[in-house]
């Protein structure tokens, strides 16, 4: 049972909701982008079965979320309870939850912090305690909570009040229910949502378009619909570090598996959603997916950017159509370097280490083993600069591991100690003392020790054989 007391941990400098959930970005599937309002219990059962049969379940995709339009549209029952539409869900939601749980998955539901949902179904403003209690009694594990029909409470304080009321209602059920806010980035949600929810949508609705501008989606600011991948990504760049364990920026659902995006575009999208640590909620029809779609969604190297111990990616620069993004390992020794090409043709470019290890002459001088994570191409003894070819609308994703001694000159005022770890001797810094623990053994499917000091993590995939 969850404690009814609200506990907070630090996320991005703010106290975060600690309901024990979303320590890593949540993963799963949602009905909306493929089915809209055209859902029924078979839609959910088939999707859950497909997530299991395809093996997606083994990679962490666990929440099956029913979006808008699941209830009787005309209103509540005589006791004021929401009612599942019997024509769509003849066996009720509790039965459905039991089936989904029986497959080893979890189930989510949807409502709005307003008088009606976005598709004009009954919603939960003023009914938070009653609705949360009902969902908990059905065995619900996840709530997506939208922002339509807000009864005029659209100021920042109005938003905080509406979303806090449901947080408290969910906590008071005693059931762990992941709380996914969906206010489309209104009132700078990333500045206040960490103590309230496990994730918060920071933009309007995504569509399967790489960068087509659409009048419905503003170039900057909140809200909108038909937002492209690059539109959302560029908005996320400014606020990436607001997310952390327990509370994440939500860049909206994945559009991997939609045929109007080519393979490079889908890989770029999946890489960036993973690296920025957005929830990874699929939106395609999982009952009709191709092997190519599954291969993207189950790439362990890329999933580790999301579910492993890497920092949230931040953007180092944008130069014309090229963007450079980076993630750090917890001990700040290894780096993920993402070179993104949003332009219309393939590009080969040389990236000097001064652009990667900015103002850090020690790391700039080091020699690295670089692994490109989509192709698993390993290049040894990389020094000074790296030459990369990045496909049109594609990414090059390199993991940099120093192969020699690194003097971290950018933090020269601290005490320097030397420690041996996998791949050679690394000189690192610790404030006033020696480092006794390197970090965590990582990777999805990892069953070995959780902490390590040198090369004690081993795994069949070479990528995981190091102490992260």
Which residues does the annotation mark as catalytic?
A: 146, 205
What are the angstrom distances between the C-alpha of 401 and each of 152, 312, 410, 417, 448?
A: 53, 18, 18, 19, 22
The phi, psi pair for 437, rounded to 5°, reads: -135, 130
Q: How far is the CB of 70 from ligand GAL (least distance, A)?
A: 11
Minimum Å distance from CB 343 to ligand GAL?
29
State which of residues 18, 68, 128, 331 lies at the interface with ligand GAL (CB under 6 A): 68
Q: Which is nearer to ligand GAL, 57 or 118 (CB)?
A: 118
Site string for ligand GAL, 2-21 (x = CB under 6 A): --------------------
Question: Which residue, 217, 258, 185, 231, is CA-closest to 33?
Answer: 258
Q: Is 182 in the site for ligand GAL (CB under 6 A)?
A: yes
Residue choice 16, 100, 109, 118 for contact with ligand GAL (CB under 6 A): 118
Task: Annotate each residue in 245-274 with x if it binds ligand GAL (CB under 6 A) or - if it does not, as one string.
Answer: ------------------------------
32 sits near ligand GAL (criterion: CB under 6 A): yes
The whole-angstrom separation of Cα 266 and Cα 315 is 20
The first and second tokens of residue 210, run together, are: 């790489």
Cα angle 317, 320, 325 (rounded to 5 degrees) comes to: 30
Whose tokens are 């403003």? That residue is 125
Q: Which of 112, 426 has the CB closer to ligand GAL?
A: 112
Adjacent-strand bridge partners of 335: 328, 400
Q: Which stretch binds ligand GAL (CB under 6 A): 13-21, 114-122, 171-179, 456-464?
A: 114-122
Name the minimum Å distance from CB 115 to ligand GAL: 14
Measure the CA–CA gap between 347 and 235, rounded to whole angstroms.
Answer: 24
Cβ-proximal residues to 157 (8 Å cutoff; 6+ apart), any chain: none
Q: Which residues contact 412 (CB under 8 A, 6 or more apart)?
A: none
Distance in angstroms (rounded) separating the CA atoms of residues 418 and 40: 60
Alpha carbons 314 and 309: distance in angstroms, whole number? 15
Q: In the complex, what is the shortest distance from the CB of residue 118 to ligand GAL, in angstroms, rounded to a whole number?
A: 3
119 binds ligand GAL (CB under 6 A): yes
User: For residues 18 and 67, which CB has a smaller minimum distance to ligand GAL in the complex?
Assistant: 67
d(CA 178, CA 21): 6
Question: Considering the complex, what minimum distance in angstroms separates the CB of residue 150 from ligand GAL?
Answer: 11
Residue number with the smallest Cβ distance to ligand GAL: 118
The footprint of ligand GAL on residues 278-307 (CB under 6 A) is none
Minimum distance between the CB of residue 254 and ligand GAL, rounded to whole angstroms?
A: 12
- Contact status: 146 vs ligand GAL (CB under 6 A): yes
Whole-number Å distance between alpha carbons of 468 and 466: 6
Taking the least distance from each CB to ligand GAL, the nearer of 224 and 394 is: 224
Question: Total residues at the site for ligand GAL (CB under 6 A)?
Answer: 10
Please give the Cα distance from 260 to 226 (Å, whole number): 14
Interface with ligand GAL, residue 67, by CB under 6 A: yes
Q: Does 29 bind ligand GAL (CB under 6 A)?
A: no
Interface with ligand GAL by CB under 6 A: which range of 116-124, 125-133, 261-269, 390-398?
116-124
H-helix or E-strand spanning residue 273: helix 263-275
User: Do the Cβ atoms of 127 and 133 come closer than 8 Å?
Assistant: no
Considering only the stretches 100-108, 111-119, 170-178, 288-296, report the one whose residues sit in contact with ligand GAL under the rule CB under 6 A: 111-119
Classify burial at 147, counting beta carbons within 10 Å of its beta carbon; exposed 0-12, middle 13-18, buried 19 or more: buried
| Binding of ligand GAL by 205 (CB under 6 A) | yes
In the complex, the smallest distance separating the C-beta of residue 232 from ligand GAL, rounded to whole angstroms, is 12
Tokens describing residue 424: 């050679």
What is the closest distance, in whole angstroms, from the C-beta atom of residue 202 to ligand GAL in the complex? 11
Q: Which residue lies nearer to ligand GAL by CB, 146 or 264? A: 146
Distance CA 106, CA 108 (A): 7
353, two tokens: 């280490």
Binding site for ligand GAL (CB under 6 A): 32, 67-68, 117-119, 146, 148, 182, 205
């Amino acid at each position: 049972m969850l404690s009814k007391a609200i506990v907070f941990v630090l996320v991005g400098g703010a106290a975060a909701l600690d309901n024990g959930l979303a320590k890593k970005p949540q993963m799963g599937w949602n009905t909306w982008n493929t089915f809209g309002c055209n859902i029924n219990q078979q839609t959910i059962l088939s999707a859950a079965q497909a997530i299991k049969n395809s093996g997606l379940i083994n990679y962490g995709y666990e929440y099956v979320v029913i979006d808008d339009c699941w209830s009787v549209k005309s209103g509540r029952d005589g006791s004021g309870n929401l009612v599942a539409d019997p024509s769509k869900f003849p066996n009720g939601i509790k039965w459905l939850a039991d089936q989904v749980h029986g497959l080893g998955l979890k189930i989510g539901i949807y409502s709005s912090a307003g008088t009606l949902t976005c598709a004009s179904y009954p919603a939960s403003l003023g009914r938070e305690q009653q609705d949360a209690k009902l969902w908990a009694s059905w065995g619900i594990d996840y709530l997506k909570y939208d922002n339509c029909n807000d009864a005029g409470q659209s100021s920042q304080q109005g938003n905080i009040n509406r979303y806090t009321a449901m947080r408290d209602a969910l906590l008071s059920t005693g059931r762990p229910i992941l709380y996914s806010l969906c206010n489309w980035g209104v009132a700078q949600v990333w500045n206040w949502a960490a103590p309230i929810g496990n994730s918060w949508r920071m933009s309007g609705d995504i569509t399967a378009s790489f960068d087509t501008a659409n009048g419905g989606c503003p170039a900057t600011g909140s809200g909108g619909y038909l937002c492209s991948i690059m539109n959302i990504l560029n908005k996320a760049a400014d606020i990436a570090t607001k997310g952390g364990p327990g509370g994440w920026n939500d860049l909206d659902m994945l559009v991997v598996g939609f045929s109007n995006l080519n393979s490079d575009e889908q890989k770029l999208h999946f890489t960036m959603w993973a690296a920025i640590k957005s929830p990874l909620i699929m939106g395609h029809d999982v009952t009709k997916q191709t092997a190519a779609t599954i291969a993207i969604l189950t790439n362990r190297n890329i999933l580790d950017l999301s579910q492993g111990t890497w920092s949230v990616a931040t953007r180092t620069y944008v130069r014309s159509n090229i963007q450079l993004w980076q993630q750090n390992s917890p001990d700040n020794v290894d780096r993920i370097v993402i070179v993104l090409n949003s332009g219309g043709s393939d590009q080969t470019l040389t990236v000097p280490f001064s652009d990667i290890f900015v103002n850090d002459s020690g790391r700039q001088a080091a020699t690295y083993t670089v692994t490109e994570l989509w192709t698993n191409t390993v290049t040894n003894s990389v020094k000074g600069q790296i030459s990369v070819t990045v496909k049109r609308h594609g990414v090059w994703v390199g993991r940099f591991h120093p192969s020699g001694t690194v003097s971290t000159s950018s933090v020269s005022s601290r005490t320097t100690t030397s420690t041996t770890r996998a791949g050679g001797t690394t000189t690192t810094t610790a404030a006033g003392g020696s480092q006794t623990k390197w970090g965590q053994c990582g990777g999805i499917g990892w069953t070995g020790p959780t902490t390590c000091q040198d090369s004690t993590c081993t795994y069949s995939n070479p990528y995981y054989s190091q102490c992260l």
